[in-house]
Structure 1
């Protein structure tokens, strides 16, 4: 059984595993909760920003630390169990590394992308949605994310211009499954999230494309017509005979908001089905990190901060925090500028040290393409060639410096 103890930062030691802090993690340099204290620098930073933290004694014990017998055990909020009280949650482990997983993920995502594009085109022409094919198509993607989500997350970041509807559905499906994995949901629920992520915007196939793609403000009548995509989507799902209530909830309620300001019914809080609450987050995140006709894509780190600011306003706080745990501040595929001035793309993250991922350097400090791209593991390479500290200085917007991510081959 996991035991969480409250420890004053003055009493922290190397090897302890910090599972929570006394303040929101965005207010500290440790941008995600859940990390082992591995260096004196970690101790100094924790003592600077926090008075106390919560330590996981089981994970700490694996490194040889044993808490004092008189430490008072406290159990902070554990949202996963409260969010899914009737489900048996599990912990997923990375069972493959990036090099091993990427080709499998690429095959799975390419097949899913072409499949959903064909399914949507048929549906736009009046055919019924082929939900049997949808169910079959998501399985390899779910397998890949269950093994290691980084490769599929990288592929979700590659957006094809002119195919927003298909790419948004694909991205939402990947983000939803990644969040489900973080939450510890069983395979059957990951499948529901994958299918729901693909289909919650399917009703837009019955909306005038000019309204969806316009770069001008919509009139009230036009806005009402666009919002009808929810009703159209429910009708299209109903025509298939699909009975999965979680998928139907995602289609019906993905535009509801935590404070009741959403549509179509103005539901709020726990009255919004849990899978629809997940759909709302992944819908928003994928949209704002994608180029649309009326808005440019923003960087993942900016998007994460927007979601964080919307906690308990638009989205449930616990789910927002779990989503950030799932995808990180710098998810795979994010363009970043290093403190050296070089420009790189995040290849893979470390689950416990999200600020120091593995990156592939694309441009030199003068922002010129390198003759040969090189990989840098920021967890272990902490200095640049001149001996200065090497860190991520900032996340960049997609396509910064004219970089075409689709042209990068690993």
Structure 2
């Protein structure tokens, strides 16, 4: 029997010895030297955090027949510096705490909302983008996310706009910069990601708005018109004098998919430019977690789970994993029920213990609304607790218990 097996967490059983995770050990509550699964509680904890793990058959007390038949790791992991050849990737450290960064993030995001609305409206009227203004407005957001991404990730979930395209461009900009930070990209690359995030769907300004708002299946001809927003976007960007190839790649290829099933060219694998692979991930994540005419919003944790299931089919595995690490197992804005029975909203991730984020408590254990919602750090609660640790029991669908995120703006 092989010594190391890659196992989906759904196939775990008591008696298996976990020797590796699908993410770095740092930031998890597990022992870095590995551990034996001794109870269903152990298994559930692993399932909450991981999608797959590595099993050491020599140290395991029990291996199910199904797992025993599995082959060793079916795919070699691709180093990030091989994906982004020639780019210097350097890890970031948090410079500010969440409360310290919150007002700066709010100011940066308020400015972005105002400016990007003006940029889109001008483009709709004149058929041209203000390239200088676009590059300038990205800087405060890049600064904030570089210092600590949590505040922007939270505020990005609260921002609403009547036009989905505006809201979508703001959100994809935040997610793209956050992923770039997680990858260790330099500032000029973060700026490219920011501009690409803002402009990915600018071509939809030239598409019939009734088609974009349709809550019915589109005809083949209508679908071709909607898909033509990619070509419209590239034309608008080039016409405006933006020649940054990474930005053009994000605008032109954000609908391409790893297995070649995307459009407009049906590119696959590493034929898809790396920045376009990032664009595809943030575009789909934001779409899945937003209300659209033809689909309800998914819980952020559920969206990540579904996207991860599409690894190496629709998205590159390494980049999906980096995205999950960037925004957290329970991303900001996720409604959760705690083991105490209380209901809360995740505000910020914990990069040391991913299952214990900062949470706004909204409902008490009997599901009655708290008179004054308060923010608690589950990691601090766990550190002080002498008994059973209060943790997240499960994530909840958006709107559960009548909770609306916009009702809980925080003044840090």
Give the shorter-chain TM-score range. 0.7 to 0.9
- Describe the shift of the 1:214–1:284 C-alpha distance in structure 2 as closer, same or farther (beyond 3 A): same
Structure 1: 4+ residue segments shifted above 4 A: 21-32, 36-50, 383-389
- Give, in angstroms, the shift of residue 77 of structure 1: 4.4
Q: What is the count of residue pairs matched by the alignment?
A: 370
In structure 1, what is the Cα distance between the partners aligned to 2:29 and 2:256?
42
Instruction: Give the 3-state SS of the residue equivalent to 2:82 in structure 1.
Output: helix
2:33 is the alignment partner of 1:33: no
Residue 386 of structure 1 and its aligned partner are, at CA, apart by 12
CA RMSD, Structure 1 to Structure 2 (Å): 2.8
CA distance in 1, matches of 2:37, 2:151: 32
Secondary structure of the corresponding residue to residue 158 of structure 2: coil
2:82 corresponds to: 82
What is the CA-CA distance between 1:364 and the residue it aligns to?
1.2
Structure-2 residue corresponding to 1:98: 98
| 1:234–1:252 Cα contact (<8 Å) kept | yes
User: What TM-score do you get using the length of structure 1 for normalisation?
Assistant: 0.83
The structural deviation recorded for 1:359 is 1.1
Superposed displacement of residue 409, structure 1: 3.0
**Equivalent residue for 2:376?**
376
Structure 1 residues 327, 353: CA separation in 2 closer, same or farther (over 3 Å shift)? Answer: same
CA contact 1:32–1:352 (8 Å) conserved in 2: no
Partner of 1:202: 202
Q: How high is the TM-score relative to the length of structure 2?
A: 0.83
Deviations 1:269-327 (A, max 9, x none): 00010000100000000000011111111011111111111111111111111111111
Q: Distance in 2 between matches of 1:353 and 1:234?
A: 41
**Shift in Å, 1:343:** 1.0
- In structure 1, what is the equivalent of residue 122 of structure 2? 122
| Residues 113 and 170 in structure 1, CA contact (< 8 A), matched pair in contact too | yes
Point out the more displaced range, 163-172 or 394-403. Answer: 394-403
Change (3 A) 1:94 1:387: same
Shift of 1:380: 3.3
Tell whether the 8 Å contact from 1:105 to 1:141 is kept in structure 2 after alignment: yes
Alpha-carbon spacing, 1:381–1:275, altered in 2? closer, same or farther (3 Å): same
Change (3 A) 1:36 1:394: closer
Structure 1 pair 95–234 and aligned structure 2 pair: CA distance change class (3 A): same
1:188 match: 188
Residue in 1 that maps onto 2:270: 270
Offset of 1:45 from its aligned partner?
Answer: 5.5
Distance 1:396 1:92 in 2: 31
Matches of 1:100 and 1:31, distance apart in 2: 32
Asked if 1:390 corresponds to 2:381, the answer is no
- Separation in 1, partners of 2:293, 2:284: 16
Q: Deviation string for 1:31-70 (max 9, x for gaps)?
A: 84332686779965568775459xxxxxxxxxxxxxxxxx
Cα distance between partner residues in 1 of 2:340 and 2:32: 21
Shift of residue 398 of structure 1? 2.5
Deviation at 1:387, TM superposition (A): 5.5
In structure 2, the CA distance between the partners of 1:378 and 1:90, relative to structure 1 (3 Å rule), is same
**Structure 1 stretches of 5 or more lacking a match?**
1-7, 10-20, 54-75
CA separation in 1, counterparts of 2:161 and 2:118?
A: 17
CA shift in 2, pair 1:383/1:343, >3 Å: farther
